[in-house]
Structure 1
Amino acid sequence: MTKVLIVLTNTAKFDTLNRATGVWLSEATHFNKVMTDNQIDVDYVSPAGGYVPVDPGSLAEDQLDAINNQFYTDADFRNRALAHSLKPADVTPSDYDAIYFAGGHGTVWDFPKNKPLGKIAKSIYDNGGVVSAVCHGVVGLLAIDGDDGKPFINGKQLTGFTNEEEAINQLTDDVPFLAEDALKAAGAVHTKHDAYTEYVVTDGRLVTGQNPQSAKGVGEAVLQLIQK
């Protein structure tokens, strides 16, 4: 049975601002929609397990499209993804064909150094599975160690939330680091397109998307790989 693990943040607030954050809802739901439309089961994990906050900006009227409404009003999604996400210790990597790190600003605090999640992702990859991420969720890739002692993403083609997009958000000085800079510092070959336009990069069994607009495209690329 094909199954995918979606990783969500537990971080509910900026460190430097009196501002709420969390998962950016569409980055979980638009990817998930591709999976459910193709009868692929999904589980949800977070660094600490349990409650997953939703960035209130992603619940604004102009963000709640039909897919977001479908999932946000679904009791199973609210229960398994937002109320009772799995802890890394609950996860058996061999159960999954792919892992997907959803974004939202919260991820920059609790994804990058979470070695249990990094080990899960590496195990799925070593078993022939797919590692994928979108927007700020790409910082989860920083927790994955490569076989040669270098970062997993060293030398790999990818994308992720850009410095330009963070500047548009006016949050450059309010995050602990910039995702684009961190990926490059880890040796990744980072490419990008215009701000807030869909852009997906596939490098073997690594799939990444630049921004929220890319979540569906990441899902479609992952689907192609796990259905081969």
Structure 2
Amino acid sequence: MKKIMVVNTSSTQFGESDKPTGLWLGELVHFYDYFNTDDYQIDLFNIKGGNTPIDPVSLNTFMLDRVTKKYYKDEHFMGLLKNSKSIDYANPSEYDVIYFTGGHGVMFDFPDNPRIHSAVNEVYNHGGIVAAVCHGIAALLNVKNESGRFFVDNKQITGFSNTEEVLANRKNNVPFMLENQLKKREANYSKSKIPFRPYVKVDNRLVTGQNPQSPKQVAQVVTKLLS
């Protein structure tokens, strides 16, 4: 049985503002659903432990597709999100895959978290797969390897684009623009020509998806790499 470690945000709002945010639910469930079989063990973590906040925008009528709605109405699954373990209690050496979900909340509690940094290096260095989608790629921004280089340096990568941030009307709420920061880290960033279309980049055992439309495609690539 392959083991997958999923990391979600614990941030409930945009920094010091009272504007709510959290996990973009679809970015979790479309990945989770793909592996929700007896062949995989999926463990959910967040930063602080306890409740995982969900971005209310990800629950509106236009965003709540059939799969997301199914999980949102599933009491057992939502119980897992409400009672998540903190990443502080994770043992990354046990996992074949680590997957970082998005939602704007991650921009506030992923980039500088030392547990995330060590987990990424642990999973990758023992031959596992590091995967992330949308803003979840912020988890990788400040990770450095044993030689002091940024993990994303010179890697083929994608993530939520500047254009998508503007179209989502969040440019003035975020602490940084993810596309710009990835380029500053000298990642080989690329994106879909058309915003909000599925887009995935693979670099060895690093798999990244651009936006909320991409988690299922990330899961499909991860499956191929695992086999």
Q: Say whether the fold is shared (TM-score over 0.5).
A: yes
Query: Is residue 215 from structure 1 mapped to residue 215 from structure 2 by the alignment?
Result: yes
Matched residues in 1 for 2:53 and 2:180: separation?
26
Secondary structure, counterpart of 2:208 in structure 1 = strand
Structure 1 residue 59 displacement after superposition? 0.7
Matched residues in 2 for 1:64 and 1:71: separation?
10
Alignment correspondent of 1:176: 175
Equivalence map 1:1-228=2 (5 Å): 1-15=1-15, 17-37=17-37, 39-80=39-80, 82-193=81-192, 194-227=194-227
Q: State the percentage of identical aligned residues.
A: 39
CA contact 2:7–2:87 (8 Å) conserved in 1: no
CA contact 2:107–2:175 (8 Å) conserved in 1: yes
Matched residues in 1 for 2:96 and 2:9: separation?
21
Matched residues in 2 for 1:105 and 1:184: separation?
19
Structure 2 unaligned spans of 5+: none
Structure 1 unaligned spans of 5+: none
Q: Which runs of 4+ in 1 moved over 6 A?
A: none
Structure 1 residues 108 and 67, CA gap change in structure 2 (3 angstroms): same
CA contact 2:47–2:88 (8 Å) conserved in 1: no
Structure 1 residue 76 displacement after superposition? 2.5
Structure 1 residue 38 displacement after superposition? 6.8
C-alpha deviations, 1:114-172, integer Å up to 9, x for none? 01111112101111100010000000012422122011111100000000100111221
Cα RMSD for the two superposed structures: 1.3
Aligned residues: 226
Structure 1 residue 37 displacement after superposition? 4.5
Secondary structure, counterpart of 2:153 in structure 1 = coil
Matched residues in 2 for 1:103 and 1:198: separation?
15
Structure 1 residues 50 and 143, CA gap change in structure 2 (3 angstroms): farther
CA contact 1:117–1:143 (8 Å) conserved in 2: no
